[in-house]
Chain A
Amino acid sequence: MIKYLTGLIVAALVTAASIAAPAPDERMEDAALEVRARGLYVQLRCVICQSQSIDESNAHLAVDMRAVVRTRLEAGDSDQEILDYMQARYGDYVLMMPPFQRNTLLLWLSPLLVLLLGGGFAVLYVRRQSGHTPESVDDEDEARVAALLDEEGQS
């Protein structure tokens, strides 16, 4: 079962790596620019395919967006300028990583919130448990335990 599962996960990872969409003819001549282009593709969302970046999608719009990224790179834009360019046209949604701002505060801080909440519960729970133990075992109990153990002949 575990073997089967591992196999499945490996298969999923391998296909995930191989489905990167940019076609060979999309490769930029300048290797450094190509690296930056790939870095930008994964940061930009394909706006018509929900949870895919334009690096993963072959939707015609994703293909066109990659072309725009390359044009801007060749024009000498910085990575941030290109992200801003897309954000100005498609909004925050186009960024795979939501910006940290007022309306995303809860989104960003919720893991911390959950940690604090869960941690608080855990601390309370453990405290209560450890608080109870010494109370419940008094001398009388210990005497009974000793007696029982004696009976079993394994003191």
Chain B
Amino acid sequence: MRAGTLLALAAVPILVATVALGWIAAGERMGLTPFSDGGPRNSAEAAAMADAAALVQLLRRGENPLWAHPIRPELISSRIQRATTPEAAVASRRLAVVRLLEREGVIADDRTRRELACLAADLDLPEMVAHLAPQGAACTPGEALERVIARTQ
């Protein structure tokens, strides 16, 4: 075997990789999403994934965050496949996502805050409960979580 042939062998996997990367780049330039699930499909999924850029973009495009959006089972749990954006933010277990929604004006009224605090309590997130309801929230244990789960069933 000649040296040139051997070196061509080394080039083969790299050329395959370049074709794959080129496919991704060209596809994305054309608005496609090769080698990707396309990212969050709605603001609830963006909240569940803590994807701040997608979340802000979807909200500013006018998507209704208070509608119960479908959520893929792998993002939160198989039991929660439909939730509002604030509920998904709580279920993401990241306070920063909840705060982002507050700044975007999504979590505005006391009633919503109390309901989310109860959901946070059901998910055992004391820091989030303290943030959402500093004065405390009168919750029936398990009720808020059951209400969200019921939408999936």
Q: Do A and B come from one complex?
A: no
Binding site for A on B (CB under 8 A): none
